[in-house]
Chains A and B, each alone.
Chain A
Amino acid sequence: MSTLLEVSGVSVSFDGFRAINNLSFQIGDAELRAVIGPNGAGKTTFMDIVTGKTKPDEGHIIWGSMSRSLIGMSEAKIARAGIGRKFQKPTVFEEQTVQENLLMALRKDRGPLAVLFFKPSKPDLERVAELAEEIGLTDALMRVSGELSHGQKQWLEIGMLLAQEPRLLLVDEPAAGMTPAEREKTTAILVEAAKTRAVVVVEHDMEFVRRLNCKVTVLHEGAVLAEGTLDHVTKNQDVIDVYLGR
């Protein structure tokens, strides 16, 4: 399996505080990966760095088969290069309908002129309907997304990510605030998505991570503490000390 994203030796400090400390991380083309770690471990900051929101102080981020460096690229460019991101707090455009949200995310020319003259074609609308089906929002297509339940908003955001057709999906705490049934469905969506692309899921809930049934990376104080199967890392004494034992 070839490497899709390679992060090596990345560090970033906020006012002298090292949130990410010489972090190295790799993920392959069609891989599902869970990232766990205590609060403040740097999980969100790691995503901020990969997506261009935060500029690292040092280190390299190499992307794709062309081995492009992502450092210094704008958020929009990185997104267009194929990295999609779901935020910790569900962020959909609440005043717009589910369909409008999905149409905006659909993989299309992003330039202002192309967007100005954009008219959704039949395949576009079919694709939107298909995505809505996948995230269980078929009946809600024409609803204003602000009216959706918390779980539905999370799914809509995942749906928007899928619409972007990214090669790497970064998902920050998708199951937070969900009912057990909703969690199960979220798991299914993510596992399905990871069949055709790389997916990184940050999650606190161990039960959820177990169901993802994938390689786990444990972050602590901005660096990788352990990596391997869930059973492997949960037996690791360091992990028990800083994370599980608390």
Chain B
Amino acid sequence: MERSFIARNPSVLVFLAILALFTLVVTVFAEGFGVGLISTSFVKTLGKTLCLCLIAVAMDLIWGYAGILSLGHFAFFGLGGYMVGMWLMYERTKQIVESSLSEGILPPTPEEIEAAIGNQIFGVVGSNEFPVIWAFADSFVLQMAFVVLVPGLLALVFGWLAFRSRVTGVYLSILTQAMTLGLSLYLFQNASGLRGNNGLSGLQNLPGVTAPQSVVSLWFFWASALALGVGYLLVAWVVSGKFGSVIRGIRDNEARVRFLGYSVESYKLAVFTLTACIAGIAGALYYPQAGIINPAEVAPIASIYLAVWVAIGGRGRLYGAVIGTAFVSLVSSWFTGGQAPNVNLGFYTIKWVDWWLILLGLSFVLVTLYAPKGMGGLVDLITRKKGSDI
């Protein structure tokens, strides 16, 4: 008989245990409640990394399992960030405005408060009117729903058009890049209603919360760890059963799956939309930790990096995507952040800020050519297991 899903996939349990342990260790060593060996800014970096791991799990589902190389998932990630950012910025500005207006002699009218908030938020783009898309910015519940609904809906419409016309392979990748580019160009406009290239800022401040950042950072870190755990479990479950069989079949031989009677397009659309929703949630947790979101985050290159992380980690197995993303994104921010010591060769000084991208590109090529299993393949060496699993 069939054993339970966890029993068939012990790696899921191992992953969750490691994630829980990691969360505990970081909490103990952080400034918020623990001994303070880990700085608050590094807690934020780790929390953001967990969010990137979550979108990588989604990327692995769509690319590694379903074989659709989407180069647009950071668009969904960014949209999730914008949705949460709108609420954060609105509520926070409202508090500031209310407290400053209350110093006047007469209590301010709701219209005055609204106008002042509009002025505060949209002054930078030469406006003080609330765009229509901010209509629900004061509703926490609705904006949280939008975190999933907006990326999901965009993915549904875009995917429906693309898959229905049987766009596949590299053409689909290009199309997703075009979508990302279109979105970021739109967001760059001042008239977009999302403050153009200024983006949304001050997102690290939670309205109505007086706790210091050292504590707030841990809240987000925990939320990110939880989201990654739940997301991992969900995706592992999705790929473990017959649904996983079908999408892997689509990856390996789409036509054959069709002749078995499966509507390939519906499956692709379902996976595309589900992963877009996961990406939206990851983004919604990421940007409050980053503090700011602007259109540059949605630039096409970001989605390409995502594919590189997953490839280096080893696609087609979820922990590979997580390992690759955690490793490469952390190392990447170390090198590009100027922390890596330059290497003086006497005749030439290697500046990592410049050379890192080349190193990354080179490792991508090498992994693709010589180690298609990526870093996740190293786990096989330890467990001596053959073939792919979750």
- Let me know if A233 is at the binding interface, CB within 8 A: no
Stretch at the interface among B17-25, B26-34, B259-267: B259-267
B39 in the interface (beta carbon within 8 A): no
Q: Cβ of A144 < 8 Å from any Cβ of B?
A: yes
- Counting CB contacts under 8 A, is A104 at the interface? yes
**B245 on interface, CB distance cutoff 8 Å:** yes
A residues in contact (CB < 8 Å) with B = 51, 53, 74-77, 79-80, 84-85, 87, 91, 93-96, 100, 103-105, 110-112, 115-116, 118-120, 122, 125, 144, 160, 164
Q: Which residue from chain B places its CB closest to the CB of A99 in the assembled complex? A: B245
Q: Quote the shortest CB–CB distance from A148 to chain B (angstroms).
A: 14
Asked whether, in the complex, the Cβ of A118 is within 8 Å of the Cβ of B264, the reply is no
Choice from A76, A100, A116, A118 contacting B262 with Cβ under 8 Å:
A76
Query: Are A112 and B249 touching (Cβ within 8 A)?
Result: no
Assuming the A-B contacts A93-B249, A110-B263, are A119 and B241 also in contact, with contact meaning beta carbons closer than 8 angstroms in the complex?
yes
- Kindly list 16 other residue pairs between chains A and B, CB separation below 8 angstroms, not including A76-B258, A112-B270, A118-B241: A53-B255, A74-B258, A85-B259, A93-B249, A94-B252, A103-B245, A104-B242, A104-B245, A105-B260, A110-B260, A112-B266, A115-B246, A116-B238, A116-B241, A116-B243, A160-B260
From B258, which residue of chain A is reached at the shortest CB distance? Answer: A75
Interface residues on B, range: 20 to 34
B249 — nearest CB in chain A belongs to which residue? A93
Q: Is the CB of A112 within 8 A of B245?
A: no
Q: Which of B1-52 contact A (CB under 8 A)?
A: 1-2
Given A93-B249, A93-B253, A164-B260 contact (CB < 8 Å): yes
**B261 and A79 form a contact (CB under 8 A):** yes
In contact, B260 and A96 (Cβ under 8 angstroms): no
B243 touching A95, Cβ below 8 Å: no
A104 surroundings in chain B (CB, below 8 A): 242, 245-246, 249, 260
> Bound complex: CA of A160 vs CA of B257, how far in Å?
11
Give the CA-CA distance A106 to B320 in the complex, in Å: 32
**Interface status of B337 (Cβ within 8 A of chain A):** no
Name the residue on A nearest B263 (C-beta). Answer: A76
- Please indicate the chain B residues that have their CB under 8 angstroms from the CB of A120 in the complex: 2, 242
Instruction: Given A79-B259, A110-B263, verify A115-B387 contact (CB < 8 Å).
Output: no
